[in-house]
Amino acid sequence: MDADQMDQETAERLLGGGPVDPSAGPRPLVLLLSAVRAAARPAELAGEGLAVQGFRSARRPPRGEGDRATLRDE
């Protein structure tokens, strides 16, 4: 089945969250959906806490940075 020929019912079935039948759609899509639905292996989760901490700190403006930006804009 070509991605251009996929009907809405097939797309909904593939995205529905259940097991993916290898013949249900285009091979690259079936492989991708199977991979993202698989449980993470312990090695894949190593460093998760540090990664989350890094994302959180990157989103936080440096201390006092927001105050100075406001004063410059006034």
Confidence of residue 67 (pLDDT cuts 50, 70, 90): low
8 A C-beta contact, residue 30 and residue 20 = yes
Give per-residue pLDDT as tens, 15-45.
Answer: 777 777 777 778 888 888 888 888 888 898 8
Residue 63 confidence (pLDDT) above 90: no
As given in the structure block, the two tokens for residue 14 are 């593939």
Decide: pTM greater than 0.75: no
Mean pLDDT, residues 1-6 = 61
Q: Residue 31 has what pLDDT?
A: 85
State the alpha helices, DSSP H only, in 1-74.
8-15, 27-37, 42-45, 48-59, 65-73
